Amino acid sequence: MTEEKEVVTENNGQENNDKENDTEELTDLESGIIRQVEYYFGDLNLPRDKFLREQVKLDDGWVPLEVLTRFNRLARLSTDIDIIANAINKSTTGLLEVSDDNKKVRRNPEMAIPEMNEERRKELTSRTVYAKGFPKDAALDDILKYFKQFEEVENIIMRRYLDKQTKKRLFKGSIFATFKTKEQAEKFLGTKDLKYNDADLLILWQDNYMQQKQEEYAVKKDKKDKKHKEKEKKEKKDDFKLPTGTVLHFNQGHDKMTREDVKEALTPLGADIAYIDFKVGESEGWVRLAKENSAKEIGEKIIDGKIKIGESEVVFRILEAEEETTYLEKTVEEMAKRRKNQKQFKHNNKGKNFKGKQSRKRKQDQSDDAPPAKVKADNS
């Protein structure tokens, strides 16, 4: 059997007060039993209670009272079948029938079970109210007693949350109350200064409450997304912030000149090279130094702005102002793109034993300090 939900019908039995048998006073126990069993077979629970629906199909709608005594909330009231049967027989709503031997109960066959579809859900929502302000240690029976002063309430759902420490579902202090009719719900909402044990109650239509929560969620999500983007932007800026005054441009090299040749020419001058942006056969290249404002110092050591590399007099000059800013911004953009591609690759190949060209990449290509594509790094 599936675990029983802790929601019940509040039925004050006012519909047929003109009947002769309603002169008999009901005890609190009998009222509680009637309320609970009528909830089980009522319009709200029965259409969605899979276990009870299966029981109803077995014997022309009849369900043994012994089966119902296994349900938690009824069992708390009583497990005595005779007491339960006698109480149900005093109900004045006409919803339930008790068998001649007082061993079984069923929903009145003349009362069709409503189909739970979208139209039905909307109709239920139209007469459901949200109420907040109940003490978090309040019991369902306490709240049911409070609602007896109002017109007929079909159902009360205590809203709960999972406490991470105790692993228990605790009461939030708010409920959804479904009234018998929309007019009764409107009357409740029109009641001024509602209180529970001197505490003010906040009441809204369920639809209005849900819309309000959706709007609050959207605002929180926007703030969270904005904060995440700002953090991501800051991380990118911090990760790829490059020192200025560090870029040397060179050209007029020979066709077979390599990055290693350029490095060997600059190292004796004390150049701490972070990266050489150059490929064999290209007409120009860039050297990015590691230390802030170190390009000027190296530039002063290059006689007439030229260094002999192989058979060529390679011309060097310092990138300054806007020219350097443009180059560094482009470099940062390429580095960020490379980082993103690497993360995406790792995500797509997570858990895979990937081998091939990726595992044979040059060591210097695996540094975040080098831009992607055709440009290769020299981190030595």
Q: pLDDT tens for residues 266-310? A: 999 999 999 999 999 999 999 999 999 999 999 999 999 999 998
Domain with 160, as residue range(s), is: 7-211
- In this predicted structure, the answer to whether residue 172 has a pLDDT above a threshold of 90 is yes
Q: Over 90: is that where the pLDDT of 33 sits?
A: yes
Q: Is residue 379 part of a domain?
A: no
Per-residue confidence (pLDDT) for residue 231, from 0 to 100: 76
Looking at per-residue pLDDT, the higher value among 15 and 174 belongs to 174
Residue 374 lies in a domain: no
pLDDT for res 234: 67
Among 185, 211, 237, residue at a domain's last position: 211
Residues 201 and 310 in one domain: no
352 band by pLDDT with thresholds 50, 70 and 90: low
For the cut 60, the answer to whether the pLDDT of residue 9 exceeds it is no
Same domain, 267 and 175: no
- What is the sign of the dihedral through the CA atoms of 16, 22, 28 and 31? negative
- Report the domain count for the chain: 2
Q: Which range among 119-128, 190-199, 267-276, 349-358 shows the weakest confidence by mean pLDDT?
A: 349-358
Q: Is the pLDDT of residue 10 over 80?
A: no
Task: Compute the mean pLDDT over every residue in the chain, rounded to the nearest whole number.
Answer: 83
User: 202 and 283 in one domain?
Assistant: no
- Per-residue pLDDT, averaged over 184-197, amounts to 91
Residue 351: the pLDDT is 65
Q: Are residues 193 and 303 in the same domain?
A: no
Q: Which of 162, 184, 211 is the last residue of a domain?
A: 211
Summarised one tens digit per residue, pLDDT across range 236-273 is: 655 668 899 999 999 998 889 999 999 999 999 999 99
Domain-located, residue 338: yes
The Cα 329–Cα 319 span in angstroms is 13
Residue 1 is assigned to a structural domain of this protein: no
Q: How many CB atoms within 10 Å of residue 375?
A: 18
Is 13 within 8 Å of 92 (Cβ atoms)?
Answer: yes
Q: In terms of domains, do 186 and 255 share one?
A: no
- Model pLDDT, residue 201: 93
pLDDT of residue 159: 93
Among 197, 150, 216, CA closest to 178:
150
In a domain, 233, yes or no: no
Quick check: 49 and 7 in contact, CB under 8 A?
no
pLDDT, tens digit, 9 for 90 and up, residues 107-149: 999 988 888 788 888 989 999 999 999 999 999 888 988 998 8
> Looking at the structure, do residues 267 and 188 belong to the same domain, yes or no?
no
Report d(CA 204, CA 174) in Å as an integer. 11
Are residues 278 and 204 part of one domain?
A: no
Q: Quick check: 19 pLDDT over 60?
A: no
From the CB of residue 83, how many other CB atoms can be counted at a distance below 10 Å? 16
> ∠ CA(18), CA(184), CA(155), 5° rounding?
90
pTM over 0.85: no
Are residues 140 and 41 part of one domain?
Answer: yes
Res 235: pLDDT: 64
Tell me what percent of the residues of the chain surpass a pLDDT of 90. 54
Q: What element of type H or E holds 173? A: strand 169-179
For the ranges 22-26, 98-102, 190-194, 323-327, the lowest mean pLDDT is seen at: 22-26
Domain assignment present for residue 380? The answer is: no
Task: pLDDT band for 353, please (50, 70, 90 cuts).
Answer: low
Rounded to whole angstroms, the Cα distance separating 289 from 244 reads 9
pLDDT tens-place string over residues 64-80: 999 999 999 899 999 99
Of 376 and 187, more confident: 187
259 with 207, same domain? no
Give the pLDDT of residue 379: 38
Span 44-52, average pLDDT:
89
Q: Is residue 375 part of a domain?
A: no
Indicate the residue among 186, 211, 236 that finishes a domain: 211
Backbone angles phi, psi at 175, to 5 degrees: -140, 165
Tell me, yes or no, whether 252 and 205 share the same domain. no
Q: What is the CATH number of the domain that holds 197?
A: 3.30.70.330
pLDDT of residue 236: 61
Confidence category of residue 170, pLDDT binned at 50, 70, 90: very high
Tell me what pLDDT residue 67 has. 95
Q: Is residue 116 part of a domain?
A: yes
Q: What is the pLDDT of residue 16?
A: 40
* In a shared domain, residues 35 and 170: yes
Q: Mark whether 203 and 317 lie in a shared domain.
A: no
